[in-house]
Amino acid sequence: MKAIQDLYPDNLAHCYGCGKNNSQGHQLKTYVEGEETVSRFTPDMKYTAIPGSVYGGLIASLLDCHGTASAAAFACIAEKIDLNQVDLPIRCVTANLNINFKALTPQGEELVIRGKLKAIEGRKISVDMTLTAKGVVCATGEILAIRLKE
């Protein structure tokens, strides 16, 4: 299966965090795995907070883009929309993002971001997320994504 972000139409694929058409961005890729969504990302050393640990703003960016992609995917699954189609018909933007930084995030490690659907209430889609490094939870997050009107 393709990454959720690779199903965004070309004219909406410039997001700094996850757009496939932004050559200077992070190009985060999110996949559906069972009942969860998963993204993996290894930050460059320039994303330093305290030496040896990852800058929190980058972590926020990863959770933001993981969350909106997950929300779109969960909404499609709920409506039995095929996630293999060329353009994703459901688009979501972030209305609210809460992050708890639990531990310093070590540099030089692959970060694994997982999402679980919390609720779909009309156009509001809530997703719970964790970000781990070497199996340790370094941050948790909750996103409220809003499904855009056509």
Q: Which residues bind ligand MYA (CB under 6 A)?
A: 8, 12, 15, 17-18, 64-65, 68, 91, 93-96, 122-124, 144, 146, 148
Nearest CA among 115, 109, 117 for reference residue 135: 109
Judged by beta carbon, residue 11 or residue 84, the one nearer ligand MYA is: 11
Assigned token pair, 69: 């992609």
**3-class state of residue 83 by DSSP:** coil
Judged by beta carbon, residue 106 or residue 124, the one nearer ligand MYA is: 124
Closest separation between CB of residue 40 and ligand MYA, Å? 18
Q: What are phi and psi of 40, to 5 degrees?
A: -130, 140
Closest separation between CB of residue 88 and ligand MYA, Å? 8
Closest separation between CB of residue 28 and ligand MYA, Å? 9
Write the burial class of residue 99 (CB in 10 Å: 0-12 exposed, 13-18 middle, 19+ buried): middle
In the bound complex, which residue of the shown chain has the CB atom lying closest to ligand MYA? 95
Rounded-to-integer distance, Cα 42 and Cα 44, Å: 7
Closest separation between CB of residue 4 and ligand MYA, Å? 10
Max Cα–Cα distance, the chain, nearest Å: 46
Judged by beta carbon, residue 62 or residue 133, the one nearer ligand MYA is: 62
